[in-house]
Amino acid sequence: MLNQINETVKYLQSQTGVQPKVGVILGTGLGGLVNEIEIINTISYEDIPNFPVSTVEGHSGRLIFGKLGGKEVMAMQGRFHFYEGYTLQQCTFPVRVMNALGVERLIVSNASGGVNPAQEIGEIMIINDHINLFPGNPLIGKNIDELGPRFPDMSDAYDAEMIKLAEKIADELDIKVSQGVYAGLTGPTLETPAEYKMINILGADAVGMSTVPEVIVARHMEIPCFAVSIITDLGVEGKIVKVSAQDVIDVANEQEPKMTKIITELIARV
């Protein structure tokens, strides 16, 4: 893995002079944040050595280098998922590369299903903890000591200071946000009513198919993380309806401008 990381980093450094301090991963239907970036370089995943390729609708598959909120950033416009057939190590490889390029903070977004009866479609939920329901962990296997410890602590997976600052920013912008726990499952099916109920009983407020592996790997390398979900559908008894991928994208697109304002200002202030 170290050889692959070094190869990928050398290639990216040959394509851009940007030295990113903030990494951003944009989820389904949420790639429009790049419109706020002062773009310096755009690189297709297909051209990057050792990078997987996005195969999902709503994920563009481009790595963006530029400036946002006055800071140099790199943004993934589209991510990789376990359900695409990639290993958890492959899904999280870009986070390893971010660390090697000098990224000091990671910001992640996703579209998710709400299982908390108090939630509404379109709600912006700041993630304050997660439950890993994937059939594995991206750190399984021989530990690479150069990257992090064998047994990383996850008691502060989501950075309390960034959460507090994001809530303050949202209040200033008059944008309603909530906090909650995110459960990560494999997909690609959406959950059954019984599964939604189980997830809520386990203590989660929202469920999705990403984010958890990426945050685990970032915390392995001691990168502080901030993550936000847009609730695109409800897995609440009496409110469950059939949902298509396009429905998810439509809700995410509608709410994205609000999320973008919060993230842009958060990057500027951290």
| pLDDT tens digits for range 203-258 | 999 999 999 999 999 999 999 999 999 999 999 988 888 888 888 888 888 899 99
Domain boundaries, the chain: 2-269
Residue 198 in this model has a pLDDT that exceeds 60? yes
SS3 track for the chain: CHHHHHHHHHHHHHHCCCCCCEEEEECCCCHHHHHHCEEEEEEEHHHCCCCCCCCCCCCCCEEEEEEECCEEEEEEECCCCHHHCCCHHHHCHHHHHHHHHCCCEEEEEEEEEECCCCCCCCCEEEEEEEEECCCCCCCCCCCCCCCCCCCCCCCCCCCHHHHHHHHHHHHHCCCCEEEEEEEECCCCCCCCHHHHHHHHHHCCCEEECCCHHHHHHHHHCCCCEEEEEEEEEECCCCCCCCCCHHHHHHHHHHHHHHHHHHHHHHHHHC
| Lowest mean pLDDT, pick from 57-66, 155-164, 172-181 | 57-66
The CATH number of domain 2-269, selected from 3.30.465.10, 3.40.50.1970, 3.40.50.2300, 3.40.50.1580 = 3.40.50.1580
Q: What is the pTM of this model?
A: 0.95
